[in-house]
């Protein structure tokens, strides 16, 4: 290897190390409060930030870093989410978009993208999937949307039997979710970990839209929607 090549390899290694230390610095728990406040996740979604970051890694290789921008393509599959586990506890995870139709005009807020209840440890596959994961269907021209992942810790198993199960094919019934009402209903007082990123419309949204069907239960859910004045999942 020529000295020039050796030098450029060395530079590359340094750059990678620098990038890595930068990434771990972003997800330093000392910065959680500031990040949630500066993007107004507090108070738009919750009253207080969690104590620590949840690590949220997508198959695309990208991760949530407290407000970074990810494309609809990068977030098309459910991410792997991990947090520091308390062995005796269970966890309930939600992913919500408070910016529907847009951050300036959030009149249909919130839109629930994903909910898994009673997760033992970090093992999301062994939790109860309440709302199946749906990627970005953010409308064209509505700017950046915040996508917020929250992990609540609870010691008792929660009874979600009264909640409708919402499949990945169901879209509109996900509107009018309220994180605050949901946490009140299930007494989820311990917001343990969280993270968020931003995403906005691009052409891939039409691919995600195409997976939506008028799902079997959509009519019933929409009736329920009316009866509950908006919220289908987690409503009164």
List residues binding ligand NAG (CB under 6 A). Answer: 176, 178, 181, 228-231, 235-236
CB-nearer residue toward ligand NAG: 35 or 188 = 188
DSSP 8-state symbol, 181: H
CB-nearer residue toward ligand NAG: 78 or 171 = 171
**Shortest distance (Å) from residue 177 CB to ligand NAG:** 7
Answer whether 130's CB lies under 8 Å from 163's CB. Answer: yes
- Tell me if the bond preceding 140 is cis, omega within 30° of 0: no
- Residue facing ligand NAG at closest CB distance: 231
**Shortest distance (Å) from residue 129 CB to ligand NAG:** 22
Length of the chain: 236
**Shortest distance (Å) from residue 184 CB to ligand NAG:** 8
Structure tokens at 188: 């989820």
Rounded Cα distance, 124 and 120, in Å: 7
CB-nearer residue toward ligand NAG: 46 or 54 = 46
CB-nearer residue toward ligand NAG: 31 or 228 = 228
C-alpha dihedral (160, 173, 190, 116), degrees to nearest 10: 60
Cα 130 to chain centroid distance, Å, stands at: 14
CB-nearer residue toward ligand NAG: 43 or 236 = 236
CB-nearer residue toward ligand NAG: 118 or 181 = 181
Structure tokens at 70: 């990810």
Q: Is 29 helix (H, G, I), strand (E, B) or coil?
A: helix
**Shortest distance (Å) from residue 14 CB to ligand NAG:** 50
**Shortest distance (Å) from residue 107 CB to ligand NAG:** 11
Residue 166's DSSP bridge partners are 131
**Shortest distance (Å) from residue 175 CB to ligand NAG:** 9
CB-nearer residue toward ligand NAG: 39 or 176 = 176
Rounded Cα distance, 132 and 125, in Å: 12
Cα 132 to chain centroid distance, Å, stands at: 12
**Shortest distance (Å) from residue 236 CB to ligand NAG:** 5
Rounded Cα distance, 21 and 235, in Å: 42
């Amino acid at each position: 290897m020529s000295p020039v090549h050796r030098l450029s390899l060395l530079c590359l290694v340094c750059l990678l190390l620098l990038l890595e230390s930068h990434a771990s610095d972003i997800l330093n728990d000392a910065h959680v409060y500031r990040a949630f406040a500066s993007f107004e996740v507090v108070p738009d979604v919750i009253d207080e930030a969690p104590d620590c970051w949840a690590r949220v890694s997508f198959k695309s290789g990208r991760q949530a870093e407290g407000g970074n921008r990810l494309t609809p393509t990068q977030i098309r599959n459910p991410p792997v989410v991990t947090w520091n586990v308390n062995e005796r506890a269970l966890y309930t995870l939600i992913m919500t978009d408070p910016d529907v139709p847009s951050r300036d005009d959030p009149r249909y807020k919130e839109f629930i993208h994903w909910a898994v209840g009673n997760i033992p440890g970090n093992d999301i596959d062994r939790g109860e999937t309440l709302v199946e994961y749906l990627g970005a269907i953010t409308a064209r021209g509505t700017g950046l949307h915040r996508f917020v992942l929250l992990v609540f810790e609870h010691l008792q198993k929660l009874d979600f039997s009264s909640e409708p199960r919402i499949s990945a094919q169901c879209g509109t019934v996900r509107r009018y979710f309220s994180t605050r009402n949901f946490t009140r209903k299930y007494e989820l007082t311990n917001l343990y970990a969280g993270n968020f990123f931003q995403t906005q419309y691009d052409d891939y949204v039409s691919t995600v839209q195409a997976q939506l069907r008028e799902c079997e239960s959509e009519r019933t859910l929409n009736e329920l929607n009316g009866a509950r004045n908006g919220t289908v999942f987690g409503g009164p």
